Structure 1
Amino acid sequence: MTTECKDCKGTGTIILSERECPDCKGTGKPKSISLDRLSEKDLGALMGGGIKCIKCFGTGKFSVTEPCKACGGRGKFITCKVCGIEITGRGELCENCAKKQYVHILSPECDTRELEIGKIYEGKVQGHANFGVFVDLNPQMRGLIHSSNLSFTPEIGDKIFVEVKNIAQNGNIELLIRSPKDYQVIYVEKQLPRRKTIELTKYIGKLIHLSGEVIQIKQTGGPTIFSISDEDGTVQCAAFEKAGERAYPEIKAEMIVKVIGEPSMRNGALQVEIRSIRHLGGKDATGIKEQIEAAIDKRAQPQEIQFLVKSDILEKLKPRMKNAAKIIMKAVYKSRPIIIRHHADADGITSAIAIERAILPLIKEIGGSDADRHFFRRSPSKAPFYEIEDVTKDITFALEDQERFSQKMPLVVLMDNGATEEDMPAMKQAVIYGIDIMVIDHHHPDGTIDSMVLEHVNPAYAGGDYGLTTGMIGTEIARMINPDVTEEIMHLPAVSAMGDRSSAPEADAYKALVADKYKIEDLKKMALAIDYEAFWQRFNDGRGLMNDILNLNSNSRYQKIVDLLNEQANAAITEQLEASMPNVKTQKLPNGTIMNVIDVENFAHKFTFPPPGKTSGEIHDRLCNQHAGQPLVTIGYGPDFAVLRSKGVKMNIPQMVKELHTEIKGAGVSGGGHLVVGSIKFVEGMRKEVLAKLAEKIGAAGVG
């Protein structure tokens, strides 16, 4: 490796001083001219006044110089080909290595152009003949040791050292056997200019040099496939040892490597047939890594967009949103797996699908048609926070992928969850395994998780609240990543607003934005269909079905499936409420709030739709209609939990949870959510005390 000397700027000399040229006295022109010695070109220059002083070359100045001491007059620094230390002499080896004999090992792509007569090479005995021994210098070069030059006959398969005596015009290589005692090995590679992945199609069938980072290794029934990423993209490189046997086992993921091979087209996709691949280290690796990082950082800059609706909160939140978009895009361009963990309701699902639709085309463009199976997963969470069950699955899958495909640990994007202390235990586990986390949420944050995550996008950090849904934020971030998806996802914020019953100004604006295509009833039906299907999907993402519900696939299926799911969901809700509504107990609190409670454990159907939270919400909606204009709270409780819904009551559920945890010893109170909508957990034996204290706090809250 060579680097230019900074002291002399590559000239090899240092200027000590400058003085007037003694020949031309500073004019830059010769003092006298002999016309009979001038060439025709010089005569032309003379006629044009262009003859220059040969001493100062027309500058009029004479420089006093000395060889640069830093680089030894070479103008550059060179590292020893053997040991890699920096040298300043004229040779290619440092002083110590130059004293030793050295043996050259030819890489598989080398041919006779890399051979030098008189140098010693490592070879492998390939066969015997009456006139001598054939020796392979690499897979494509074979030489002969004539029998007259053999003092013994080496066995087939033996590694021996040979000197190149001669290379005939027809390519025949004449060798002499050698036995160096004190020697140093030099690895000889074919010197080829580095090519980028983006330009490989121009070199089909030609030998090329590609340097980049190993992002995935797959062992097939035939070759080993290395996915190599550089500044411009990713390409699959195939190496074959034996059928199903791992080639180059020393090469690991995240290594910077140098590949020599031939680009070809396989099943319509570009692939490089590897001749050789080796791990780069030191300055070579650092230089490539820095180039890749700089290029990806530039490519990952989010698009400058105008939000679909006017919103002061979104404008204030824009820097965080842009950073979130950049983090996701960098993961895509680095072919780092991305897991989107989202709450399994209409808001969480629409927000996650918006990002999914934006990044899947990019993931496939960079990693190939099947890359979405290896580098992306969308996983719903039943709870509105990152549970231990969730992180356990994410870590397990990530470790399996790392073992099978040598993939990096993933980036986990938490959407419509992740903002509170409840998420901390799972986050701590993820961090131990090198999993990075980012949060995009609208639940009221308590600040505890912010030091654990790369970014936390939350309307509360811009003066907003839960009315600005995660579906709205996620859709706008998706547009920053990939503006081409705007048309297909622009209705998702309106669906999320209906699902979360948002009354924010942005909700009305997003609904109006798509009013020509989707009526309020259409949006409401989509939200209910998503909630209903999410219940039965459990922990599956249901990508195809969810896309149909949101009219992202087949328009003919969209209407049919939404109508059917609404029919089934409404029938289930009606059946549930027929059983539950008669068992709702109502009382008026000191602040005028109408508090309604329902024991969903004993007075609602279990293990079916709607679940306790949804059941409490449906009861709350009906009671709000009955008591229009009055402050109202509905509590659906079970043995060890309570779900809260409110209207017109100025509660702070996360704060209430903290107070209950402190005030009621032995109750194990935890939970949270939005300020006026949330859930609480506690130990079963303390239910009566917790609910009584909760009612007391609700009765002391402001109303209006």
Structure 2
Amino acid sequence: MGSCLICGVSVDGRICDSHQEDVVFDFRGNSPQQLVSNRFYRGTVDGYAEFGVFIDLAPGVTGLLHRSELDRRLDSLDWEPGDDVFVQVKGVRDNGNIDLAWSIRQTEREFRGVLVQDGETDRDPDASERDTDDSADHDSADHDPTTGDHEDDESPTEASADAVAEDATAEDATASDSDEEQAAETDTDETEQAAGDEAAIDEETERDDDGSAESESDDQRERVGVETLADSVGDEVRLEGEVVSVRQTGGPTIFEIRDETGVVDAAAFVEAGVRAYPDVEVGDTVRLDGEVESRRGEIQVETEALAVLEGEDATTVSHRLAEALTSKARPEGLQPLGGDEAVAELGEGLLDAAEAVRRAVLESRPIVVRHPATADGYVAGAAVERAVLPLIRDEHAKSDAEYHYFTRRPLEDPVYGMDAATNDATRMLQDRDRHDEKLPLFLLVGTGSTVESEDGLGLLSVYGADTVVVDAAVADPEARESVDTLVSPELASVDENLSTTALVASMASAINDDVRDELVHLPAVSYWENAPDRYVDLARDAGYDVERVAELREAIALEAYYQSYQDKRELIADLLFEDGGDLVAHVSEQFREKLETEIDTATENVVTEAVGGVEFAVLDTDKYTHRFDFPPTSLLLDDLHRRHENGDAFATIGIGTDELYVRTSTDVSIRDVAARAAETAPAADIDTAGLREGKIEFLSGERDAVEDAVVAAVAEQF
């Protein structure tokens, strides 16, 4: 029998059941089944996967810390392979898989003791196993509310841990007596600390008649803006603003506070994992007193008092925030890139869209950008990203805010359907319920304007999520009713050769004029052919000649295909904005090699026929393309049609198992083609799947009938 190193009670080992989570264990076993659920263990980062981080707890014993267990985005985690980290074991499955949980405590000194687990036996660490790095005691001042770190003042828990360490190395016969004395001291210290905490909480939450918190400095402190906090580290300050999110960590409660100048995290600590100020909710107008601290390069406030404002005080703060929001959100005006008159015709709509994006940033509302997985789609999405990320960095003190408040999710399908909408709705509801986040603004570029997206947009509208659609395609009436802001050439009777990027790049320059010069070459990149001279000239003036623009387009198209559902933020940014030439040239060379191989095969297997005075080139895409390798069918047929187009009455048809693509030398309504073909082949369940892609879907058993019906319907349109 031994005694618990925390409370001193008699136990079979070195820790009682009630204090298992107060110490950290170094695992020296060789089997996952020896691990104890809910214990905290020291581990080593083995590597990353899309769904989480693998942590080695011992040689041959590796667990998964799933991304859903993190209190931040996986891509903002600054762990590197080989780093020592601390995690909690949630459980071990029958197959030996280890499920891990996030630990807010990421240094040894934040725990109340250290033990070694040899197999199923717990013991004190040997002297050679102890952490002798005293520099950890000096890497921050005072108390870190996110970790519990102290520097100058030794806390009761630290005193307890130090005493335990001394007991563990003592080699005299009075060890058990020392344990009892240690337990008594710890109990006394914890009782005094608890009493002090309760008194502090009572003092902080005591309210006067107008609902504000009592404080000795209530009349002396002057309100400051969040934007000034970087110059006030170590000072006691007062903030007034709105609570935009509340996160409960394993340690403090984190309140994200927004005023008219920015957003900052405020940590409030009662005890580990306990919600501080439970009556304070997202959307409340509050007054906060606290001390400004810099933790790992990020500004935060350690809360001393937090009160919900009421009456005139709340109204004053709300008006101040609203006025600042209105003045900041609306861009001064729209200056179309290259002086494009067609874009200028859509100026008011683009300004409305730009205002919605800027307002979301200022309101600390996440922004989700959806775009097709095409060159035009990726370039348009990257233009918005380039404009918005600096605004988020300026607004938020947290270094990883740009990953938290901006997400770009490419669409594998050409429309915003129920699959994508269900994914988005699930994520936003999880973030709302688990992290008290506001519902995001959904910005759809190059998709969402046609009836095929109506069901998906309708799902978002049920939950009240704001949606903005900017699309160079002609909008359908059904789409207009499902979104808050819609920008489409049809709305201004614009009949122009516009790409989505041509619209979005001008909108992005209105969102953030500081990046305008970085965007001028993007419209030219988005055109596969017949790029307007104004955009070609803009790109050339920015240092991108015709050959360079073509290489960019090809490189983006290739990367857009692979893992099309991923944003590839850093890679796309390198290609479009940072590359000196080597990366783009390397990727575009792969594009050309792969495309030429497919074009050669397709050309040899095209069947030509004339129907109704129209020459058709028909390709069986099931037999004569690599369906699961680059290039995708749509891009292949685009290039095949451009190369083999012969006169004004020419069409290319690519038909597979249950889908068909149409390319024509003149404007043809794909909806009319589908409707006419459905009359001819009523059993085929023919329907349009994407107007811009000229895509039609049907039942595979009626393939031959569909081919004949579509060819006849296309011929009628010429």
TM-score (norm 2): 0.67
Which of 294, 316, 332 is the aligned partner of 1:303?
332
Q: Which residue of 1 aligns with 2:502?
A: 472
Equivalence map 1:433-448=2 (5 Å): 433-448=463-478
Alpha-carbon distance, 1:352 to partner: 0.8
Which of 551, 558, 573 is the aligned partner of 1:532?
558
Greater shift in the superposed pair: 484-493 or 264-273: 264-273
Alpha-carbon distance, 1:185 to partner: 12
- 1:216 pairs with 2:242: no
Alpha-carbon distance, 1:361 to partner: 0.6
Q: Which residue of 2 aligns with 1:73?
A: none
- 1:620 pairs with 2:646: no
Equivalence map 1:40-79=2 (5 Å): none
Question: Aligned partners of 2:672 and 2:238: how far apart in 1?
Answer: 61
Question: Aligned partners of 2:196 and 2:486: how far apart in 1?
Answer: 64
**In 2 relative to 1, CA 141–202 (structure 1 residues): closer, same or farther, beyond 3 Å?**
farther
Alpha-carbon distance, 1:231 to partner: 1.8
Alpha-carbon distance, 1:521 to partner: 1.9
- 1:541 pairs with 2:591: no
Question: Aligned partners of 1:215 and 1:186: how far apart in 2?
Answer: 20
Which of 587, 592, 614 is the aligned partner of 1:565?
587
- 1:390 pairs with 2:420: yes
Q: Which residue of 1 aligns with 2:716?
A: 700
Amino acid at match of 1:260: D
Question: Aligned partners of 1:141 and 1:285: how far apart in 2?
Answer: 22
Q: What is the SS of the residue equivalent to 2:382?
A: helix
Equivalence map 1:127-166=2 (5 Å): 138-139=199-200
Q: Which residue of 2 aligns with 1:412?
A: 442
Question: Aligned partners of 1:135 and 1:524: how far apart in 2?
Answer: 69
Question: Aligned partners of 2:599 and 2:196: how far apart in 1?
Answer: 87
| 1:443-499 Cα deviation digits (max 9, x unpaired) | 22222111111111112222335721111111101110111112222111110123x
**In 2 relative to 1, CA 660–210 (structure 1 residues): closer, same or farther, beyond 3 Å?**
farther
**In 2 relative to 1, CA 194–623 (structure 1 residues): closer, same or farther, beyond 3 Å?**
same
Which of 315, 321, 335 is the aligned partner of 2:350?
321
Equivalence map 1:667-686=2 (5 Å): 667-671=684-688, 673-674=690-691, 678-686=694-702
Asked whether the 8 Å contact 1:379–1:540 carries over to 2, the reply is yes
Q: Which residue of 1 aligns with 2:669?
A: 652
| 1:324-345 Cα deviation digits (max 9, x unpaired) | 0000000011110001001111
Amino acid at match of 2:694: G
Question: Aligned partners of 1:514 and 1:437: how far apart in 2?
Answer: 31
Asked whether the 8 Å contact 2:212–2:308 carries over to 1, the reply is no
- 1:189 pairs with 2:214: yes
- 1:603 pairs with 2:624: yes
**In 2 relative to 1, CA 223–554 (structure 1 residues): closer, same or farther, beyond 3 Å?**
farther
Alpha-carbon distance, 1:215 to partner: 1.3
**In 2 relative to 1, CA 319–661 (structure 1 residues): closer, same or farther, beyond 3 Å?**
farther
Question: Aligned partners of 1:349 and 1:358: how far apart in 2?
Answer: 14
Q: Which residue of 1 aligns with 2:547?
A: 521
Amino acid at match of 2:710: L
Alpha-carbon distance, 1:609 to partner: 0.6
**In 2 relative to 1, CA 586–281 (structure 1 residues): closer, same or farther, beyond 3 Å?**
farther
Q: What is the SS of the residue equivalent to 1:408?
A: coil
Question: Aligned partners of 1:187 and 1:311: how far apart in 2?
Answer: 55
Amino acid at match of 1:440: V
Asked whether the 8 Å contact 2:380–2:504 carries over to 1, the reply is yes
| 1:378-432 Cα deviation digits (max 9, x unpaired) | 1111222112222222222222322343111111111111111110111122222
Amino acid at match of 2:470: I
Question: Aligned partners of 1:643 and 1:211: how far apart in 2?
Answer: 58
Asked whether the 8 Å contact 2:213–2:305 carries over to 1, the reply is no
Q: Which residue of 1 aligns with 2:176?
A: none
Q: Which residue of 1 aligns with 2:292?
A: 263
Asked whether the 8 Å contact 1:443–1:673 carries over to 2, the reply is no
Q: Which residue of 1 aligns with 2:318?
A: 289
Q: Which residue of 2 aligns with 1:239?
A: 268
Q: What is the SS of the residue equivalent to 1:577?
A: helix
Question: Aligned partners of 2:199 and 2:678: how far apart in 1?
Answer: 73
Q: Which residue of 2 aligns with 1:252?
A: 281
Asked whether the 8 Å contact 2:213–2:306 carries over to 1, the reply is no
Q: Which residue of 1 aligns with 2:704?
A: 688
Alpha-carbon distance, 1:616 to partner: 1.4
- Percent sequence identity is 33
Equivalence map 1:77-96=2 (5 Å): none
Alpha-carbon distance, 1:186 to partner: 8.3
- 1:637 pairs with 2:655: yes
Amino acid at match of 1:333: L
Question: Aligned partners of 1:659 and 1:256: how far apart in 2?
Answer: 59
RMSD: 2.9
Structure 1, gaps ≥5 residues long: 1-126, 128-133, 143-160, 162-183
Question: Aligned partners of 1:188 and 1:306: how far apart in 2?
Answer: 49
**In 2 relative to 1, CA 520–136 (structure 1 residues): closer, same or farther, beyond 3 Å?**
closer
- 1:331 pairs with 2:353: no
Greater shift in the superposed pair: 278-287 or 416-425: 278-287
**In 2 relative to 1, CA 201–605 (structure 1 residues): closer, same or farther, beyond 3 Å?**
closer
**In 2 relative to 1, CA 249–135 (structure 1 residues): closer, same or farther, beyond 3 Å?**
closer
Question: Aligned partners of 1:136 and 1:290: how far apart in 2?
Answer: 35
| 1:237-280 Cα deviation digits (max 9, x unpaired) | 11112234332233332232232223344344432221122334
Q: Which structure shows the bigger proportion of residues in helix conformation?
A: 2
Question: Aligned partners of 1:383 and 1:136: how far apart in 2?
Answer: 55
Q: Which residue of 2 aligns with 1:355?
A: 384
Question: Aligned partners of 2:293 and 2:197: how far apart in 1?
Answer: 27
**In 2 relative to 1, CA 391–353 (structure 1 residues): closer, same or farther, beyond 3 Å?**
same
Question: Aligned partners of 2:396 and 2:322: how far apart in 1?
Answer: 18
Question: Aligned partners of 1:217 and 1:610: how far apart in 2?
Answer: 46
Question: Aligned partners of 2:678 and 2:592: how far apart in 1?
Answer: 37
Q: Which residue of 2 aligns with 1:181?
A: none
Q: What is the SS of the residue equivalent to 1:216?
A: strand
Question: Aligned partners of 1:431 and 1:269: how far apart in 2?
Answer: 36
Alpha-carbon distance, 1:538 to partner: 2.4
Asked whether the 8 Å contact 2:210–2:310 carries over to 1, the reply is no
Asked whether the 8 Å contact 1:657–1:672 carries over to 2, the reply is no
Q: Which residue of 1 aligns with 2:431?
A: 401
**In 2 relative to 1, CA 201–584 (structure 1 residues): closer, same or farther, beyond 3 Å?**
closer
Q: Which residue of 1 aligns with 2:169?
A: none
Alpha-carbon distance, 1:211 to partner: 2.3
Amino acid at match of 1:216: S
Q: What is the SS of the residue equivalent to 1:249?
A: coil
Alpha-carbon distance, 1:219 to partner: 3.4
Question: Aligned partners of 1:200 and 1:413: how far apart in 2?
Answer: 32
Question: Aligned partners of 2:501 and 2:260: how far apart in 1?
Answer: 33
| 1:523-547 Cα deviation digits (max 9, x unpaired) | 1121111111111122111112112
Question: Aligned partners of 1:658 and 1:549: how far apart in 2?
Answer: 41
Q: Which residue of 2 aligns with 1:227?
A: 256
Q: What is the SS of the residue equivalent to 2:651?
A: strand
| 1:6-45 Cα deviation digits (max 9, x unpaired) | xxxxxxxxxxxxxxxxxxxxxxxxxxxxxxxxxxxxxxxx
Amino acid at match of 2:700: E
Q: What is the SS of the residue equivalent to 2:624?
A: coil
Question: Aligned partners of 2:375 and 2:687: how far apart in 1?
Answer: 24
Amino acid at match of 2:363: K
Amino acid at match of 1:236: D
Question: Aligned partners of 1:373 and 1:478: how far apart in 2?
Answer: 19
Asked whether the 8 Å contact 1:654–1:673 carries over to 2, the reply is no
Larger Rg: 1
Asked whether the 8 Å contact 1:594–1:633 carries over to 2, the reply is yes
Asked whether the 8 Å contact 1:443–1:466 carries over to 2, the reply is no
